[in-house]
Structures are given as structure tokens and as C-alpha cells.
């Protein structure tokens, strides 16, 4: 009898332990199911609050970076973050941006480089506070006229696209100091560029340019002009009115001579070789005598030769 009671007691204890283990397993399974149903905010960008948690304050600016996320389209909730001032969508796989981009009226900096964008939405013109737009290395063929409404733009990079011209409306970008149109399909400098009189930096390398218009002289604040790797046959005399030029790069063109007035560009202090060096870059041009020989004596020698007695 004693042994029977002992066996019954052991069996009861064993049943209780099995029940406890089964309960633990059920709770664990429930927890796993809940975790699958509720991904953490770090892993998901499916709501405004979760996206907002990725935004940071950097130097006092509301900043959000979604760079290198493999995005083919931005999350819909992004356009509700109207407090954003800096937005980085670079190095994704975006082919288009929605009209809701215009909701981000506080943006100061918009970084779109390294995507597959075919165009920019007209609503970009609603970003009235925008100062910097990076849209290089995309597949843009043109730029919307509405971009001309972004009259606070100071820096515009459209390099490495398929652009052949710019709309006249961009002549309203009177505060623009840096424009990069290199590596495009530009045959003539867009007329609007000559109205951007605050320009300090103008990059037009690797295009299809055959000439520069006399109106280049209107860019009175220009310090850096890069037109290498084009098909320029001559430089206009009016270029020599830009006495503030510190770097003029005309490498790899079809120049046979230079304007006699080039001696006026006194801030071009030397013949430069390194791409970042200030001075006159003029290698790989079919220069003819006597200019070719005179240049062997350096820029000072050229100036002395061209300057009237």
C-alpha cells in the first residue's frame, strides 16, 4: 500500500511538471507570434512615428537619412514629417518621387544623388526654403520649370545625368553660388546660367560645348570655371572681363590660341596641372605658334608676350 501511494504521488508530481513545461512552451510560442506580428521600430519603417525615430537633430537641424537602404520608392509616411530640414535619400534605387515631396516645405538640404531618377516632380517648386539640391548621378533628361521657384537655392548639382539644357525659369535663382552641370549633353550654355550673377563656381566639363557666349562676362563673381573635355574652338574675349577668376580649366579642347586680353586675369597665377590647383589649365589643346612656345615660359611669360607695350 505504501508503495502504491508513493507511485501515485510521483505520477502526480510528474503530471504537474509536464503541465508547467507545456505552459511555458505555450507562453514562449505566444511571445514569438507577438514578436512576428509587432516588429521593432528599428527594423520597420511602416509608420510615421517609427520613421520619426530615425530622425536626429544635427547642429540644430532636423535631419533624416535613408541613404543606402535599397529603396525603390520612399515610404509614404515620409511626406508627413513636415518638420524635416535635411533629407538624404542618396544611393538607393529610386526612379521617381511623388508629388507629396512638396509637403516638406521646411527642407533646406535635399540629397538625391546616386539613384535612377528620370525626372523631378513639379512640386519641388514648393520647397521655397531649399538651399542645397544634390541630384547628380541619376538619369535626368530635363529639369522642371518649377525649380525656378526655389529662389533660395545656393548649391545645385546636376552632374552625371542626360541633360541638354535648363529651363529659362532658373534665371530666377539669383542666390545660386555653385552650379555643377558636368558630364551631361549640353551643347550650348543654357541662357538662364548667364543670369545667375552670384555664381562663384561653374562646372561644365565633359559636355558637347563648342563655344562660350560673350554673355559669360555677366558672371562677375565667378572664381572657378571648368570647361575641360568639350569641343571649344576659341575663348571669347569677354571671358577676360572676369578678373576674379582664380581657376580656369580648358584642358582637352580644340583651342588653337587664347584671347590677347587674357593677361588681365591676374588671379590666374600659374599654369596648373593638378585638377584642384588654382591657375590656368590648358593642356591637350592644339595650340599653334607662337602661343605654344611662349607657354613653355609659364603663365607670366604668356602675359608679358600678350600685354601691350
List the chain pLDDT tens, one digit each, 309 residues: 443 344 444 455 455 555 455 555 545 455 444 433 434 333 444 577 778 877 888 788 999 999 999 999 999 999 999 999 999 999 999 999 999 999 999 999 999 999 999 999 999 999 999 999 999 999 999 999 999 999 999 999 999 999 999 999 999 999 999 999 999 999 999 999 999 999 999 999 999 999 999 999 999 999 999 999 999 999 999 999 999 999 999 999 999 999 999 999 999 999 998 888 999 999 999 999 899 899 988 999 999 888 886
Q: Which pLDDT belongs to residue 50?
A: 79
Q: What is the DSSP letter of 30?
A: H
pTM for the structure as a whole? 0.84
Neighbour tally for 147: CB within 10 Å: 24
Q: Which pLDDT belongs to residue 42?
A: 39
Q: How far apart are alpha carbons 255 and 232 in whole angstroms?
A: 6
Neighbour tally for 125: CB within 10 Å: 19
Cβ-based neighbours of 168, under 8 Å, separated by 6 or more: 191, 192
Amino acid at each position: 500500500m505504501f508503495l502504491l501511494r508513493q507511485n501515485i504521488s510521483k505520477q502526480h508530481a510528474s503530471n504537474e511538471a509536464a503541465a508547467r513545461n507545456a505552459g511555458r512552451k505555450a507562453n514562449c510560442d505566444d511571445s514569438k507570434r507577438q514578436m512576428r506580428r509587432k516588429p521593432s521600430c528599428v527594423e520597420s519603417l511602416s509608420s510615421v512615428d517609427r520613421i520619426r525615430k530615425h530622425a536626429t537633430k544635427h547642429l540644430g537641424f532636423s535631419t533624416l537619412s535613408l541613404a543606402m537602404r535599397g529603396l525603390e520608392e520612399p515610404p509614404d509616411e515620409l511626406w508627413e514629417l513636415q518638420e524635416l530640414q535635411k533629407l538624404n535619400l542618396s544611393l538607393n534605387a529610386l526612379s521617381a518621387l511623388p508629388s507629396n515631396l512638396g509637403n516638406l516645405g521646411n527642407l533646406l538640404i535635399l540629397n538625391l544623388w546616386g539613384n535612377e531618377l528620370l525626372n523631378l516632380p513639379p512640386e519641388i517648386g514648393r520647397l521655397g526654403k531649399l538651399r542645397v539640391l544634390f541630384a547628380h548621378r541619376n538619369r535626368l533628361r530635363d529639369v522642371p520649370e518649377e525649380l525656378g521657384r526655389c529662389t533660395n537655392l545656393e548649391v545645385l548639382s546636376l552632374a552625371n545625368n542626360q541633360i541638354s539644357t535648363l529651363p529659362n525659369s532658373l534665371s530666377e535663382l539669383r542666390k545660386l553660388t555653385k552650379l555643377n552641370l558636368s558630364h551631361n549633353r549640353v551643347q550650348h550654355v543654357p541662357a538662364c546660367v548667364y543670369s545667375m550673377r552670384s555664381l562663384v563656381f561653374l562646372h561644365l566639363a565633359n559636355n558637347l560645348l563648342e563655344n562660350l557666349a560673350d554673355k559669360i562676362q555677366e558672371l562677375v563673381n565667378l572664381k572657378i570655371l571648368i570647361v575641360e573635355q568639350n569641343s571649344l574652338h576659341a575663348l571669347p574675349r569677354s571671358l577676360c572681363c572676369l578678373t576674379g577668376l582664380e581657376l580656369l580649366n580648358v584642358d582637352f579642347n580644340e583651342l588653337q590660341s587664347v584671347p590677347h586680353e587674357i593677361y588681365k586675369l591676374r588671379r590666374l597665377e600659374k599654369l596648373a596641372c593638378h585638377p584642384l590647383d588654382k591657375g590656368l589649365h590648358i593642356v591637350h589643346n592644339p595650340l599653334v605658334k607662337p602661343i605654344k612656345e611662349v607657354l613653355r615660359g609659364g603663365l607670366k611669360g604668356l602675359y608679358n608676350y600678350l600685354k601691350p607695350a
